[in-house]
Amino acid sequence: MKAIVTGHTKGLGAALANNLLARGVPVLGLARTRAPALAAAYPELFGEVELDLADGAALADWMGGGALADYIDGSGAVLLLNNAGMVSPVGPLDEQDPLAVMRAVALNVAAPLALSAAVVRASRGAHLRILHISSGAGRNAYPGWSVYCATKAALDQHARAVALDSGADARGVRICSLAPGVIDTGMQAEIRATPETNFPLRQRFVELKESGALIDPDQCAEQLVDHLLGAGFGDEVVADLRTLAH
């Protein structure tokens, strides 16, 4: 078994990569920066590629260059964790930079969809589990978050459609788009720093932090990986970790 984790250098992605490595699962991390602590702690299990996943040309070059197929080769099972994402741009349409919108869609949607297809094509019959890190924002609209809501909804619909593909499960492909809850990460700090004029619900997230209601990334990662490796993964194609955990 081998795993690929996007956005592995911080927040939930770092916690997911560390959790898998601690279980003895080799991990290939894809992100714009590196994770020296993981490299030092797991030199035999961990590899990483500096890659801007929002750069479609760079991602295409890497996927087509043979490195992905080489990494997967010989593995009976492959885990793809599409974790990388961004909440910006935040605000109404007249406040959104069109280039920032394009970058968000590239990172939040194009990259995970392309990686999912590339990993399936390179897996050569290996059992494949695809985990999209989604959000409640993909299932409920919030003011100021039109881009984030839309991109997370796209992941949910992608999972639903893949699960309907004829013979997907028979070919060993299982998929789930999973909302993990509100996690205490840098993204949350970014949300709290957003002016209320751009995000009217800002105070709600401030109160979650002040009340200690945010989820610890390591605790969340433990539950996510348990589900990813469990027998029932993919039975619920669009899911919420807070429901699955009970």
Active site positions, annotated: 148
Phi, psi of 93 (to 5 degrees): -55, -40
- Distance between CA 89 and CA 104 in Å, rounded? 8
CB 80 within 8 A of CB 116: yes
Question: Which residues, including other chains, have CB under 8 Å from residue 47's CB and lie 6 or more apart?
Answer: 26, 27, 28, 29, 71
CB 83 within 8 A of CB 28: no
Phi, psi of 80 (to 5 degrees): -115, 115
User: Within 13 Å, how many C-alpha atoms sit on residue 134's CB side?
Assistant: 31
Q: Check whether the bond before 89 is cis (ω within 30° of 0).
A: yes
Ramachandran assignment for 187, one of left (phi > 0), alpha (psi -120 to 50 degrees), beta (any other): alpha
- Distance between CA 38 and CA 5 in Å, rounded? 13
